[in-house]
Chains A and B, each alone.
Chain A
Amino acid sequence: MPMQVRELTAPAAVFALIVTVVLIGALVIPFVSGGTTPEVTNLAAGQTNTDSVQITPNTEEGNIAVDGPGPGESKTVLIDKAHSNRLSDEKLSTLTNALVKSGHTVQILSREQARGPAWNESLRSADAVVIANPTQPYKSGQLAGLEKFADAGGRVTLLADPAAISVGGGLLGLSIQESSAQYTGLASSFGFAAQSGYLYNMHEYQNNFKSIYATTPAESRNPLSQGIDRVVLREAVAISTASAEPALNTVDRTVREPTRREATYTVAATSGNVAIVGDTDFMMPTNVYVADNEVLLGNLATFLVSGNKRPGAPATPDSNGAQNAGTSTGGAIPTAPTAPTAPRPGDGPSPSPVPESIIAPSE
């Protein structure tokens, strides 16, 4: 027995010695050679030019001022919603608030009030019309009535946006929808055309290449340009016109998608009693005080209420309209006896439809 123990002692001692040497070595080597943790420099801070990536918040100041036609004189502004017009209540709220605050009346024109002869009758009771992004075309009778309305001194404002692209979820998955305004007939009858695509500027813009700046042409006497240094339009279309007077032009190096040509594009113009603005986003409550947008909205409201429309125009309904009136269902024409508008000479006798009066929604 003791023989066996003595035989095992020597190998066990060798084993223990080897293990001890290896472990001590493993412990000592890192102390001698140093740790493996590399030095860490703060690259993220060093690689960031804080000044150049900081965005200056937009200053939002100023007031929407509507210069009335005269004390106590109230005008009626009709807003076309009869042609599936693409204009949110939010955008509309700033304009209606400004008009209502200065003592004017705003009426929304529904589909029934634009049918057949009711269209002309609705126009007859109004002093100005706002038409934004209609997605249904105007009938020839409606266009004729509108032209007569403008010829008689009624103010017409057209608002145009680029085609809207929206994504919707349906039974068949996601769908992309593009809805563009049916403007061609309407705008061209007043000598304007809204060009396709949107405007952008990669050099001078407000926080996004589509948020372009527009300024007034030198020595402009256009009523829409008064008091404006520059406005910010979030998504604008270019207006082509042969005879109209430009009110706002884009700044240098503005490009139109999809042609990508650099040019000075007109984004707002007037021609007699008709004004056109190639953007509606400037009316958004969140955008309306940015740059001089509030001045533009004020000018637009002032333009709407400073016309001198001949009472009772468009006087005679066009022949088409009269025929339609004969054949159409009588119920479609509202014949309420009282009009919410202030009665004016010439308005009284005509059976005017009653466009729904609105209380301006809060901004």
Chain B
Amino acid sequence: MSRNNDSSAGSTNTFYIVAVAAAVVVSAVLAPVAYDYAQSAQSEGTVSVITVSGVITGSKVDTLSEDLREARINDSIKSVVLKVDSGGGAVAPSERLYLEVLRTAKEIPVVASVQGVSASGAYYGILPANETFMLSSGQVGSVGVIGAGGTAPVPDRIIRTGPDKAQPTTEQRRQQVESLKRQFVNRVVEHRGENITLSREEIANAKTYLGPRAAENGLIDQLGTLSVAIDHAAEMAGMEDYDIARKEPPRGGLIFFATTVDGQKMIYKQQTSNDAMAIPVTQPLAINEIPYHDPGMGVDANASA
């Protein structure tokens, strides 16, 4: 009998231990979910942080447009922060970015936070933001357009249907670049309006300004880091507790290639991101720097030539 009792007490104990262990495991899994739920129940909405970096190209703006559209239609996203580090790109994608940001800013607060550079086309893109923050070491400006003055002559054996087909004149290019510049300057004046102390001609000089000067002349609103910008965006949407959703651009893939040096295998990896890509100045560009413009290199080449 007592042996029976003992064995039944032992199995009861085992059940207790299993039950406690199972309870610990289940609650360990469920607790974070419950915690997150409780936390997001307190959160009044989400600030979407969208990264704009590298050369502004058509495909990059496709992705950014999607992100901005999502921010507009998703009711839980109450405001947007653009995290910018770009020296610009082609003019048409820059204008598309500008229009997408403008469309978003008409619906929810948009705050721009310049990390390093936001010049030329990238500055064009953030013009409609309700508030612009940058660091004192950052640069903004370079309001202007560059483009090739003419095209390479078309060989005689190519048949064209008109004198301007595939061969605009220098004067036509000059007029186009001037028109694009006026559009850009017009929009800077329109959006920076009362804040800006620079004249149209000073803006069109296309200088870049460091943070303190840009805050003074009105190209941006104030100095501040990304977290300040996020907090400001939340505040503009009337949120005290908020979630942050980050939208990063797709990373470029890695290319590996291998070679054998002195019997040892060397493996190189290279990022295929097009950020460092040099774009030729064939179409009008709103860009801060031409990547291959290196006078020092020219001197070397001349000296040895």
Contacts and interface: CB of A to CB of B under 8 A. Distances in A.
9 contacts: A52-B182, A53-B180, A53-B182, A170-B301, A174-B298, A176-B294, A208-B174, A211-B174, A286-B170
Nearest to A42: B99
Contacts of B163: none
Contact of A173 (B72, B295, B297): B297
Interface of A: 36, 38, 41, 43-44, 47-49, 52-55, 57-58, 170-177, 202-203, 207-209, 211, 286
Contact of A43 (B99, B177, B178, B294): B99
Contact of B298 (A41, A55, A177): A177
A47 B72 contact: no
A207 to B, nearest CB: 5
A43 B103 contact: yes
Contact of B304 (A43, A172, A176): A172
Given A38-B73, A44-B99, A53 B179 contact: yes
B183 A53 contact: yes
Contacts of A38: 72-73, 107
Interface string B95-106: 100010011001
B73 A175 contact: no
Contacts of A176: 293-295, 297-298
B103 A55 contact: no
A223 B201 CA distance: 35
B102 A175 contact: no
Contacts of A173: 297, 301
B171 A58 contact: yes
Contacts of A44: 95, 99
A41 B187 CA distance: 18
A207 B178 contact: yes
B183 A175 contact: no
A54 B179 contact: yes
B254 to A, nearest CB: 26
Contacts of B304: 172
Interface in B161-200: 169-171, 174-180, 182-183, 186-187, 190
A318 to B, nearest CB: 36
B175 A57 contact: yes
Interface in B261-305: 292-295, 297-298, 300-302, 304-305
B301 A175 contact: yes
B239 interface: no
Given A172-B301, A175-B297, A202-B204, A55 B178 contact: yes
A175 B186 contact: no
Nearest to A206: B174
B102 A47 contact: yes
Given A53-B182, A286-B169, A177 B187 contact: no
Contacts of A286: 169-171
Nearest to A40: B103
B76 interface: no
B37 to A, nearest CB: 22
Nearest to A169: B301
Contact of B175 (A55, A171, A174): A55
Nearest to A287: B171
A39 to B, nearest CB: 10
B8 interface: no
Contacts of B103: 41, 43
A207 B72 contact: no
A53 B183 CA distance: 6
A1 B73 CA distance: 55
A43 B170 contact: no
Residue from the set B179, B183, B293, B301 with the largest chain A CB neighbour count within 10 Å: B301
Nearest to B304: A172
B13 interface: no
Q: Which are the 6 A-B pairs with shortest beta-carbon distances? A: A176-B298, A175-B301, A175-B298, A202-B201, A55-B175, A172-B301
Contacts of A174: 292, 294, 297-298, 301
Nearest to B205: A202
Nearest to A170: B301
A358 B60 CA distance: 56
A203 B201 contact: yes
A207 B174 contact: yes
B296 to A, nearest CB: 9
Contact of A55 (B102, B169, B179, B297): B179
A1 B297 CA distance: 90
Given A38-B107, A44-B95, A172-B297, 18 more contacts: A38-B72, A43-B103, A44-B99, A47-B99, A47-B190, A49-B186, A53-B179, A53-B183, A171-B301, A171-B305, A172-B301, A173-B297, A173-B301, A174-B297, A176-B294, A202-B201, A207-B178, A208-B178
